[in-house]
């Protein structure tokens, strides 16, 4: 990879490689954009096959965080970190070494939980730096973000119902939920509390059983796309909206928590062409990020709930823009995010003060 030309194309500000042989730490932090504020994004530990794969992942994920924070109205930029290694080798020393490196960035990057890292890892990192979120509530942390992500998805689903059917009554339509982990389970709980018809699937039988106990109906993993439900709720892996699945979909709305749901942009165009309303993934699943963002200002659950409920309006604005501009919703979300960064970038640029300073410089020097 030609690193600088890739950074140029993707728009990154900074990429930092950290190496600490004593603890086995090999980490990459990617800071995509700090126009709106410090770059916040999770720390992922993964046994990448090579360094190139790790770098590609962290560049892609950090860019996504910029869009998520921007569309959500947060004063945060986008960043992400990866540790190259087997999650079985996790240790206190490894995370504390990572914490010391994060501290050295002086707050330009703030870390959080992601795949294969948890509250315990954040606690170790917290020993070495303040630039960490998702620490334990006893240390002023916000704990598990998943219930907030789920609440945000429910608000996003309501915005979809409003746009498609002119009401927000969860009970009036049916749902197919794919993936019943931390987020999916809470979504099923909300939907069943509203007495809605819910089909579910997962790789793990005990997770299916938990949801069936709430009144959901189980289907096989490969049947979930073709289920006769109005709303498909992807909460497992990315790229589940692809050529193969689109051919099977019978839903009218796609609205779930999974990251990178569209295998390609063309899949977003195809959903649009078929009249299926797509809730852009990084906008509808921002509840967890909103929740940790409040931790930086002193955690307050009520404020977190209020902010996450705002996802209803954020989605509504994206849909309105998509309709006005006659573009697919995934493009409308990008426009909202890019528009906010561009507008606030102009406000925040130091040059905005310079003309005023120049204007008064003569007077201060006694020259007119
Ligand atoms: P999780 O690992 O707890 O749950 C994922 C579930 O999906 C697991 O139960 C797994 O068995 C199941 N699954 C995997 N492949 C499947 C398949 N092919 N068919 C059916 N089920 C399958 O993850 P999570 O924290 O619940 O997150 C779910 C999704 O939402 C992920 O894409 C994640 O990146 C995204 N997300 C999560 C959060 C959060 O707050 N946890 C925030 C934003 C986005």
Decide whether any atom of ligand 1 lies within 6 Å of the 180 Cβ: yes
What would the two tokens of residue 184 be? 């999916």
Q: Cβ(270)–Cβ(51) under 8 Å?
A: no
CA of 321 to the centre of ligand 1 (A): 29
Positions marked active-site: 80
The pLDDT value recorded for residue 297 is: 84
CA of 33 to the centre of ligand 1 (A): 26
The pLDDT value recorded for residue 363 is: 42
Buried b (16+ CB within 10 A) or exposed e, 94-129: bbbbbbebbeebeebbbbbbbebbebebbbbbbebb
CA of 300 to the centre of ligand 1 (A): 26
Task: Please give the domain boundaries of the chain with CATH numbers for all domains.
Answer: 3-63+77-132 (3.40.50.10860), 146-341 (3.40.50.720)
CA of 183 to the centre of ligand 1 (A): 7
Decide whether any atom of ligand 1 lies within 6 Å of the 258 Cβ: yes
The pLDDT value recorded for residue 78 is: 97
Collapsing DSSP to helix, strand or coil, 29 comes out as strand
Buried b (16+ CB within 10 A) or exposed e, 234-257: bbbeeebbeeebbeebebbbbbbb
Decide whether any atom of ligand 1 lies within 6 Å of the 182 Cβ: yes
The pLDDT value recorded for residue 143 is: 83
Decide whether any atom of ligand 1 lies within 6 Å of the 183 Cβ: yes
Full-model pTM: 0.92
The pLDDT value recorded for residue 140 is: 85
Contacts with 186 (C-beta within 8 Å, 6 or more apart), sequence order: 146, 147, 149, 150, 151
Residues of the chain with pLDDT under 50: 358-368
Collapsing DSSP to helix, strand or coil, 187 comes out as helix
Decide whether any atom of ligand 1 lies within 6 Å of the 239 Cβ: no
**CA separation for the pair 37, 75 (Å, rounded):** 5
**CA separation for the pair 251, 257 (Å, rounded):** 17
């Amino acid at each position: 990879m030609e690193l600088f030309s890739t950074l140029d194309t993707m728009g990154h500000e900074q990429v930092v490689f950290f190496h600490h042989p004593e603890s086995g730490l090999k980490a990459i932090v990617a800071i995509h954009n700090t126009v709106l504020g410090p770059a916040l994004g999770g720390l992922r530990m993964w046994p990448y096959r090579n360094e190139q794969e790790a770098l590609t992942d962290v560049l892609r994920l950090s860019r996504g965080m910029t869009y998520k924070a921007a569309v959500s109205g947060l004063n945060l930029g986008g960043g992400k970190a990866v540790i190259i290694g087997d999650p079985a080798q996790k240790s206190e020393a490894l995370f504390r070494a990572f914490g010391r490196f994060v501290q050295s960035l002086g707050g330009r990057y703030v870390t959080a939980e992601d795949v294969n890292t948890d509250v315990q890892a954040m606690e170790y990192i917290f020993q070495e730096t303040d630039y960490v979120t998702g620490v334990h509530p006893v240390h002023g942390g916000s704990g598990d973000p998943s219930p907030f992500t789920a609440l945000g998805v429910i608000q996003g689903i309501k915005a979809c119902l409003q746009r498609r059917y002119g009401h927000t009554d969860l009970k009036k339509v049916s749902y197919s939920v794919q993936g019943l982990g931390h987020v999916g389970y809470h979504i099923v709980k909300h939907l069943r509390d509203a007495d809605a018809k819910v089909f579910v699937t997962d790789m793990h039988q005990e997770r299916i059983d938990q949801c069936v106990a709430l009144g959901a109906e189980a289907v096989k993993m490969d049947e979930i796309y073709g289920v006769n439900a109005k709303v498909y709720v992807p909460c497992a892996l990315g790229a589940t909206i692809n050529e193969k699945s689109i051919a099977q979909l019978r839903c009218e709305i796609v609205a779930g928590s999974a990251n990178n749901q569209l295998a390609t942009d063309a899949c977003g165009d195809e959903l649009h062409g078929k009249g299926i309303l797509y809730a852009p993934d990084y906008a509808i699943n921002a509840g967890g990020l909103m929740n940790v963002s409040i931790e930086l200002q002193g955690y307050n659950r009520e404020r977190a709930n209020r902010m996450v409920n705002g996802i209803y309006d954020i989605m509504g604005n994206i849909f309105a823009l998509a309709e006005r501009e006659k573009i697919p919703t995934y493009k409308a979300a990008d426009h909202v995010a890019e528009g906010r960064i561009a507008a606030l970038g102009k406000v925040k640029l130091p040059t905005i003060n310079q003309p005023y300073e120049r204007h008064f410089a003569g007077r201060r020097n006694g020259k007119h």
